[in-house]
Structure 1
Amino acid sequence: MEHVAFDDAETYEPDDGWARAALAGSDRFSFEWFEKPAGHSSPMHDHENEQVCVCLEGELVVHTEEETVALEQYDSVHLDAWESHRVENRTDERAVGLDVFAPGRGFDFWTDREE
């Protein structure tokens, strides 16, 4: 069993106020808690991992090249591997979510990425 206390989790802040925390997982799947500040959007990107994004608090808008969907509390969306997407918080309040990736990944996706 692997226990990760939230306060001890590895964290990363790709942009000011956009916080991420690595929760328990493995190379087969990983979980990342995230907080997205008001008005923030991640850049359009894709990756080898399938992704499920769950909105835990506030509202998140997920954009792909094909469609846009608004997630309210406890709503989720599945993204295929290599599906270009971005996640946006259009509100004036923070939003909180949980990303699940398969296969698992680390923060090096953001730290080693070329713009």
Structure 2
Amino acid sequence: MKSIDFAEAETYEPEDGWRRVSLAGSEKFTFEWFEKPPGHTSPMHDHENEQVCLCLEGELTVYNENGESTTLEQHDSVWLDAWEPHRVANESDEVAVGLDVFAPGRSFDFWTDREE
């Protein structure tokens, strides 16, 4: 068993106000809690990991490369296939909070070592 204390978990901020916290996980899957400020969007990106994004508070809108979108409200989720280009936006005036699950697991260096 491996317990993670949220207050002591590994945290990083890929962009101002966009905070991510690494929760318990493994090489097979990882969980990242995140806080997205009003008006923030991640860049369009893809990765080798399947992803489930769960909205915990506020609203999150997920876009794919074809311009299709879905807006998640509290407790809604979306599944993204490996290598599916997407971006996640908070288009509201309130902070949004979510939880990302990745399989296989990934490390923070996806965002911290990213080159545009």
Q: Identify the TM-score tier after normalising by the shorter chain.
A: over 0.9
Determine the structure 2 residue equivalent to 1:79: 80
RMSD (CA atoms): 0.5
Which amino acid in the other structure matches residue 74 of structure 1? H
**3-state SS in 1 of match to 2:62:** strand
Deviations 1:42-84 (A, max 9, x none): 0000000000000000000000023100000000000000000
Structure 1: gaps of 5 or more residues = none
Percent identical pairs in the alignment equals 73
**3-state SS in 1 of match to 2:82:** coil
Question: TM-score, length-normalised on structure 2?
Answer: 0.98
Write out aligned runs for 1:1-115 (5 A). 1-66=1-66, 67-115=68-116
Aligned partners of 1:82 and 1:96: how far apart in 2?
Answer: 24
**Pairwise CA distance, 1:40:** 0.3
* Count of aligned residue pairs for this structure pair: 115
Which amino acid in the other structure matches residue 87 of structure 1? V
**3-state SS in 2 of match to 1:32:** strand
Aligned partners of 2:16 and 2:115: how far apart in 1?
Answer: 18
**3-state SS in 2 of match to 1:27:** coil
Which amino acid in the other structure matches residue 113 of structure 2? D
Runs of 4+ in structure 1 deviating by more than 6 angstroms, as ranges, are: none
Aligned partners of 1:34 and 1:23: how far apart in 2?
Answer: 10
Question: TM-score, length-normalised on structure 1?
Answer: 0.99
- Contact kept? 2:62, 2:88, Cα under 8 Å: yes
